[in-house]
Homo-oligomer: A and B are copies of this chain.
Amino acid sequence: MKRPTIADIAREAGVSKGAVSYALNGRPGVSAATRERILAVAERLQFHADSNARALAGAKTRVVGLTLRRPPSTLGVEPFFMELISGLELELSRQSYALLLQMAPGRDEELAFYRRWFSEGRVDGVLVCDVNVGDPRVSTLQELGLPAVVIGPPGVSGSLTSVWSDDEQSMVEAVEYLAALGHRRIARVGGIPQLAHTAIRTAAFAGVCARLGIADAVTVPADYTGEAAARATRKLLGGAHPPTALLYDNDVMAVAGLTAARELGISVPAELSIVAWDDSPICRLLHPPLTALTRDIGAYGELAARTLLAAIAGEPVTSAHGAPAHLTPRGSTAPPR
């Protein structure tokens, strides 16, 4: 099927191509009557301007880019990314933007994609997530001057705008809750240590435990997979002074921890309390349902997209915190025996 061009519209409407462009883009330069006529023709012909021609002539691409690093099958497991993307899309769609998505095996490839998108003029701006400490993408994007929003803690975002939650506050809430239940031996199975937000949580965990006089508040690093979490859990529970409460940096690891504990003959919550960071439908469906740090991940996505689109539009933008994750107590936590 052949696509109509502004030349076709111009001919049908009996005006110049320039007039069609003005009318379509809602700019001054055509009378109301002419505009009406042009829009009617465009509507009838199901006309949509070629985005390549528009972009080449100086208009926006109306596309933003996002890369996702794909460690061996961590991605599919976690609802986090899909929820984030859902939220992003919600706001992007409202403003007629689309998302260009690319999975990258590693950090270098991610960086290369951002560079290429810039060079090829593919995107108006980009989103960056899973930020490492000293992530090279931050400095590169600053150099390029491509509008960018970091979905991650502000500390590692350089001069880029960032959108994240206050993880420290949530960590404090979770640990204080466990302490209030009477727990004195609390440990944590953490996320990938290189990630900036993991470092923040680790520091916050150590900090609040020290403040509450909880000794040996150890964090065992893992990689968000159930296997690693099960190993870490067995190790922690097999020690001389096993913890009575465990905090997991994502829901999948918490599920694995629950099962690992059960296999060791340790009952939850009677002998062990479990808290998951990030709540998903699965947490509610388990027996016992998992106490979790709940946050609206989709809302972060929306906020990030809104911020990026504002930056692209040339509006001044500032880094912002979304609502922090808050504790949702369920059946997996109880006072220690």
Which residue of B56, B102, B115, B259 is within 8 Å of A89 (Cβ)?
Answer: B102
Would you call A103 and B86 a contact (CB within 8 A)? yes
Can you give 9 A-B contacts (C-beta < 8 A)? A46-B119, A56-B56, A70-B89, A89-B103, A93-B102, A100-B100, A256-B285, A258-B287, A259-B285
Q: Contact mask A69-95 → B, CB, 8 Å, 1/0?
A: 010010111010111011001100100
Would you call B49 and A52 a contact (CB within 8 A)? no
Q: Contact mask A34-72 → B, CB, 8 Å, 1/0?
A: 000000000000111111110110000101000000100
Question: Complex Cα distance A3/B144, Å?
Answer: 9
CB neighbours of A259 from chain B (8 A): 285-287
Given A82-B75, A103-B90, A285-B255: A119 and B56 interface contact (C-beta under 8 Å): no
14 more A-B residue pairs beyond the given contacts A46-B115, A51-B122, A76-B297, with a C-beta to C-beta distance below 8 A: A1-B144, A48-B115, A50-B120, A77-B281, A77-B282, A89-B102, A90-B103, A98-B101, A98-B102, A99-B100, A101-B101, A226-B285, A255-B286, A259-B285
Given A85-B101, A101-B85, A102-B93: A120 and B281 interface contact (C-beta under 8 Å): no
Would you call B282 and A255 a contact (CB within 8 A)? yes
Would you call B98 and A86 a contact (CB within 8 A)? no
Would you call A281 and B226 a contact (CB within 8 A)? yes
CB neighbours of A226 from chain B (8 A): 281-282, 284-285
CB neighbours of A285 from chain B (8 A): 226, 230, 252, 255-256, 259
List A residues at the B interface (Cβ < 8 Å). 1, 3, 46-53, 55-56, 61, 63, 70, 73, 75-77, 79, 81-83, 85-86, 89-90, 93, 98-104, 115-116, 118-122, 143-145, 225-226, 230, 252, 255-256, 258-259, 262-263, 280-282, 284-287, 297-298
Question: Complex Cα distance A263/B116, Å?
Answer: 54
Given A89-B102, A99-B100, A100-B100: A76 and B75 interface contact (C-beta under 8 Å): no
Would you call A118 and B3 a contact (CB within 8 A)? yes
Query: Which label, helix, strand, loop or mixed, suits the secondary structure of the A interface?
Result: helix
Nearest residue, chain B, Cβ from A109: B93
Given A76-B280, A252-B282, A284-B226: A100 and B98 interface contact (C-beta under 8 Å): yes
Would you call B61 and A52 a contact (CB within 8 A)? yes
Q: How far apart are A184's CB and chain B's nearest CB, in angstroms?
A: 28
Question: Complex Cα distance A143/B3, Å?
Answer: 12
CB neighbours of A225 from chain B (8 A): 281
In the A-B complex, the 8 residue pairs with the smallest Cβ-Cβ separation, listed nearest first, are A48-B119, A89-B103, A76-B83, A52-B55, A51-B120, A52-B52, A76-B82, A52-B56
Q: How far apart are A63's CB and chain B's nearest CB, in angstroms?
A: 7
Nearest residue, chain B, Cβ from A253: B285
Q: How far apart are A92's CB and chain B's nearest CB, in angstroms?
A: 8
